[in-house]
Amino acid sequence: MKKFAFIFALLATMLLALTACGEPAGTPEGGDASGDNKTYKIVVAAQPNSGQVFQYLADDKGYLEEEGVEVEMSYINNATDAFTAMTAGQIDVMSTYGTGGPLIQIANGQEYTIFGGYMIIGETPCFGLPETEWTSLESFRGKTIGITRGGTPDIVLKGILNDAGLLDEVTFVEFKKNQETLQAVANGQVDFGATATGYQLQAQALGLEVKMWPDEYWPNHSCCRMLCNTSYIQDEDNQEALYRMLRAYLRAEKDLNEDKAQVVDLVVENLDLDKATVESFVYSEHMKYDTDPFKNSVITMWNKMGGFGYLPEDNSIDILEHLNIDIYQRALESLIEDYPDEQFYQDKLTQFNENNL
């Protein structure tokens, strides 16, 4: 009996050793970042015009399932309706509604928290007719510019002009839709027009050309941020859900930089956009998808907005109380631990330290 017991113990030890040797680094197969079997659910709102690239890739690659999080997309065309839905608890996260809009809401007393990013620059050009001269920012002096108020093109362009001392030398004409802005430029109603992502081909069809790229004057100005109700992120289960989603999105970001052709195909598959339109912004050097919170860029925009009157004069809100970088940092550091040989995550950590600490 002792002999059989010894053999059984030996076999059991060998089996455990083989199992350990065959286990891959990273998220356990069929499991999640924390090793438990619970699946969390998040409802994310986005505009249907520039692509939830991290979501599509993370879903296609199976990263969301591996991390134990289910993300339901809710496409809402305008920020006003998205803010209303989030305040009412109908959605959990907003992802592609700029930075300025959320900051205005926070300045007006809304309890929102920014915890991650989707784009740090978002391809927001300023268009004009071919015969309209533009050589530098001075070319805007005495001219009219069409914008949609509160959007990234509006806030970034005004920030640039304010820094250059030209804001009061320009007349802004507000339109409700980007298409209306382009049409106004084409008709000569305004001299220039700044639009959101994805309108280059429409502008070209109207005979317009890009006159100026704002990101060349204000690099990493902060475009779309991921945010939620502050009460939502204070809940530990919700923090875990966001952590898992960010892990999946970071893994997708790595893939995005390696195969943009697949990104184009996934956006076309998921949204009502033609391939040429999607290629125009996915391949653009003026579009940078990035999950990093870029806290310092958000603070810079907050300060600039206060400088040209987009925040209340008596604003006493501490924007730092509405910025959370801890969950993203935890997600990134856990991936470095799981994939120590992946240079991408090491580079992301360097970027994080430079732009958040």
- Tell me, what's the pLDDT at 19? 34
* Helix (H) or strand (E) segment spanning residue 354: helix 343-356
Task: Name 94's Cβ contacts closer than 8 Å, sequence gap at least 6.
Answer: 44, 45, 46, 79, 82, 83, 86, 102, 226, 227, 228
CATH superfamily membership of 126-212: Periplasmic binding protein-like II (3.40.190.10)
What are the Cα distances from residue 153, in Å, to 75, 77, 78, 98, 276? 21, 17, 15, 9, 22
Q: Is 69 helix (H, G, I), strand (E, B) or coil?
A: strand
40-121+222-356 maps to which CATH number? 3.40.190.10
Q: Where in the chain is the domain with CATH 3.40.190.10?
A: 40-121+222-356, 126-212
Beta strands in the chain (DSSP E): 40-46, 69-75, 93-94, 112-117, 119-122, 126-128, 144-147, 171-174, 192-194, 209-212, 225-229, 287-289
- Tell me, what's the pLDDT at 49? 80
Closest by CA position to 197, among listed 80, 71, 96: 96
Which phi and psi angles does 119 have, rounded to 5°? -140, 140
Q: What is the pTM of this model?
A: 0.88
**Cβ 122 vs Cβ 153: under 8 Å:** no
**Residues of the chain whose pLDDT is less than 70?**
1-35
- Tell me, what's the pLDDT at 9? 39
Task: Name 219's Cβ contacts closer than 8 Å, sequence gap at least 6.
Answer: 121
292: left (phi over 0), alpha (psi -120 to 50) or beta: beta
